[in-house]
Structure 1
Amino acid sequence: MNSRTIANGILRAVGIIVAIALILYFFYKIQSVIVYILIAAVISLIGRPIVIFLRRRLKFRNTIAVVATMLLLVGVFVGIIGLLIPLLVEQGHNLSLLDITALQENIEELYRSGIAYLELNHIDAEKAIKESKILSNLDYSVIPNFLNSLVSGLGSFSIGLMSVLFIAFFFLKDSNLFEKGILTFIPNEKESKTKRSFTKISDLLSRYFVGLFFQILILFVIYTIGLLIIGVKNAVVIAFLCALINLIPYLGPLIGAFLMLFLVMTNNLGDSFNDIVLPKIIYTLIVITIAQLVDNFFSQPYIFSKSVKSHPLEIFLIIIIAGLLFGVVGMIVAVPSYTAIKVILKEFLSDNKTVKKLTQGL
């Protein structure tokens, strides 16, 4: 091997590295567009069963079926916003009247009552709590800022929303548009396997997102019934918002529970803390517990086993790993991405022993 061959090899390697770096930089600069495309792809997967139903059962033309589906999805989105705006306005008004000092006094009174109860049972909890300095470290002023930050972030979604809807319309109109774009970069001998992979992925993810819809619906019904029984104002809106947040794996239920308790508490500002607010908080905790038990032991296992053909433990590990690597966004996209990867591996590496074990249910 002469020096010229070595130099050419080095130049070729440097060229490949530079090309990869430029491609990655390009993707980094257009990351928002990539996000729009991915969200539009998800919306098209959700709307796909509706389009198929309108075309096959009601004999709609493809364009009319797509337009009707998009109008339905937009109507649902507008309805959600219409439900949330009055709640945000009311909670903002309640928070503007919030007396931080009174809230602190109520919580400290609850703390003293709990300590007195524990002392009757010979439990020395006060010493441990004082040493931890929990009450002195609590920042009560953070509560009024919660919804303000939520409202301020809504304006930045307008351009993105229009872009997503525009892209989703064409994905629904031409269901193979995304596939055709990918096939442009696929060698001819791999096209048939790639097409089969796309078909399988579309079917699995459509069922997965439909399953998520029913998961939200079940939580929404349980939350609504529970909050109505308790007598919480804006029960339907609060139930829907907290059920929707549950889509975030593992963190979602905690965020939703905190949000529900927060909204229930601020709905009753000015009422007696011990006689009205505290009992409603306790009853709300019971409702949250019942809903999460149903979700964890019925809804989620059914969705994962029937839609994406994966074991719940397998899904749990994938979500945790994705969360550690990519944060909350990684946890949300972990299951669809993992499902797509499994389908591709089964199609292209079906003879591999490990792949056979992972994809035996597909």
Structure 2
Amino acid sequence: MVRRMLLYLLLMLVVLVFISWYFSNIFIYLIFSLVLATLLRPLTNTIHQIHVLNNRIPRPIAIIFSFSIVIVVVTLFVMLFIPLFSEQVKVLSQISYDSVLTSVSQPFNSIEQFLIENKLTVQQEGFLFESIRESLFGLLSEVDFTLLLNNLISVTGGLLVGFLAVSFITFFLLLENGILRRQIIALIPNQYFEVFIAAMFKIEKLLSNYLIGLLFQMASIFSIASLGLSILGVKYALTIAVFAAVANLIPYLGPMLGASFGIVVGVSTSGDISLSQDLLIIVVKILSVFGIVQAADNILLQPLIFSKSVKAHPLEIFVIIFAGATIAGIPGMIAAIPTYTILRVSTIEVYAGFKGYQIFKK
């Protein structure tokens, strides 16, 4: 009986993993919808309890209000970047490309001079920079801009479809409050009910801890980055800090994206993109701040969020994140830990049920 049941559960797990991989887009949409519904449910319930003319606000209206708040937050997030983009356009229009080209060519001229003086080459002066420039032009000429445009349209369409799918699923998850849980519970035989409820309780608790930990991580990274960049006088410190906090949702890759974005913004808004001492000082300032951010994240935040909240070893987390990246790219990296938490807790609880409950031993 026990062996047959274990084999049955193993088969179900394999089928679930295969379905998750084969329908990875739908699975990712469902995961994001569940997370969004979990975050919006308290707000929706609060709005739903408000009485207007002795009647509670209808739940669909409460959901629309919740969605509106999310849209406002996203709009404010986008508006935060508008001044930055405007300045980028202004800076690019004022750049003296001749001076930039001269500045960039100076290190190559020094290398050429060294090679010629030591008779390490027979080429004429200017060959190194010229060969690099020809290589760059060759690469640009090989770029298929039609294909690039088609890929951009495809990605934009995919994002739009994903947005609509997540919005649709989240709306009905909030409308039918707890319907997914009730439907799943209804499929569980009575003899496995206690084990399943215990597993569901632990899964919800761990995922809740994980989400709270992520919010704390984002707030901490934003605070450290914005304070450090502001003290060092880096322009658009808040914008860089917001981007870094959001990018940090992507495990391992996020901190590098945040630092890269900070350097690009710091360099492009400095007014001088030539290789100068002032430019190097700006880069050092930004890297020093993000070095502190990364140290705090690795030493304090990630162990607290990943290891403590989901009760998993850091090596497990590392392997699972890269498995998620292999299956579904960046969305897979983001959804890897919650998905692994569900599978891991379910397996542990079922195994504990086999050991602890007499009904499985009959």
Q: TM-score, normalised by structure 2?
A: 0.68
In structure 1, list runs of 5 or more residues that go unmatched. Answer: 1-19, 115-132, 354-362
C-alpha displacement of 1:167: 2.3
Q: 1:70 is matched with which residue: 67, 70, 93?
A: 67
Q: What is aligned with 2:114?
A: none
The structure-2 alpha-carbon separation of the partners of 1:296 and 1:309, relative to structure 1 and needing over 3 Å to count, comes to same
Q: Would you say the 8 A contact 1:66–1:172 is kept in 2?
A: yes
The structure-2 alpha-carbon separation of the partners of 1:230 and 1:194, relative to structure 1 and needing over 3 Å to count, comes to same
Q: Distance in 1 between matches of 2:175 and 2:302?
A: 31
Q: Would you say the 8 A contact 1:224–1:239 is kept in 2?
A: yes
The answer to whether structure 1 residue 249 and structure 2 residue 251 are counterparts is: yes
Q: What is aligned with 1:220?
A: 222
C-alpha displacement of 1:103: 4.3
C-alpha displacement of 1:329: 3.1
C-alpha displacement of 1:75: 2.4
Q: Would you say the 8 A contact 2:31–2:335 is kept in 1?
A: no
1:249 match: secondary structure: coil
Q: Distance in 2 between matches of 1:62 and 1:303?
A: 36
C-alpha displacement of 1:304: 2.1
Q: Distance in 2 between matches of 1:110 and 1:265?
A: 19
The structure-2 alpha-carbon separation of the partners of 1:192 and 1:317, relative to structure 1 and needing over 3 Å to count, comes to same
The structure-2 alpha-carbon separation of the partners of 1:274 and 1:168, relative to structure 1 and needing over 3 Å to count, comes to same
Q: What is aligned with 2:120?
A: none
What do you get for the CA RMSD once the two structures are aligned? 4.3
Deviations 1:70-126 (A, max 9, x none): 343332222212223443343345446556665454455468899xxxxxxxxxxxx
Q: What is aligned with 1:87?
A: 84
C-alpha displacement of 1:236: 1.0
Q: Distance in 1 between matches of 2:213 and 2:64?
A: 24
C-alpha displacement of 1:344: 0.7
The structure-2 alpha-carbon separation of the partners of 1:318 and 1:24, relative to structure 1 and needing over 3 Å to count, comes to closer
Q: Would you say the 8 A contact 1:45–1:202 is kept in 2?
A: no
Q: What is aligned with 2:28?
A: 35
Q: What is aligned with 2:297?
A: 295
Q: Would you say the 8 A contact 1:40–1:165 is kept in 2?
A: yes
Amino acid corresponding to residue 313 of structure 1 in structure 2: L
Amino acid corresponding to residue 38 of structure 1 in structure 2: I
1:349 match: secondary structure: helix
Amino acid corresponding to residue 200 of structure 1 in structure 2: K
Q: Distance in 2 between matches of 1:96 and 1:189?
A: 72
Q: Would you say the 8 A contact 2:240–2:258 is kept in 1?
A: no
The structure-2 alpha-carbon separation of the partners of 1:315 and 1:55, relative to structure 1 and needing over 3 Å to count, comes to farther
Q: Distance in 2 between matches of 1:193 and 1:98?
A: 67
Q: What is aligned with 2:209?
A: 207
Q: Distance in 2 between matches of 1:347 and 1:326?
A: 28
Instruction: Name which of structure 1's ranges 283-292 and 180-189 shifts more when overlaid on structure 2.
Output: 180-189
The structure-2 alpha-carbon separation of the partners of 1:196 and 1:76, relative to structure 1 and needing over 3 Å to count, comes to farther
Instruction: Name which of structure 1's ranges 326-335 and 316-325 shifts more when overlaid on structure 2.
Output: 316-325
Q: Distance in 1 between matches of 2:200 and 2:99?
A: 58
What does residue range 18-167 of structure 1 map to in structure 2 within 5 Å? 32-48=25-41, 50=43, 63=59, 66=63, 68-95=65-92, 102-103=99-100, 105-107=102-104, 109=106, 136=132, 157-167=159-169
C-alpha displacement of 1:36: 2.8
Amino acid corresponding to residue 237 of structure 2 in structure 1: A
Q: Distance in 1 between matches of 2:245 and 2:207?
A: 20
Identity %: 32
Q: Distance in 2 between matches of 1:151 and 1:240?
A: 25
Q: What is aligned with 2:123?
A: none
Instruction: Name which of structure 1's ranges 222-231 and 208-217 shifts more when overlaid on structure 2.
Output: 222-231
Q: 2:282 is matched with which residue: 280, 283, 300?
A: 280
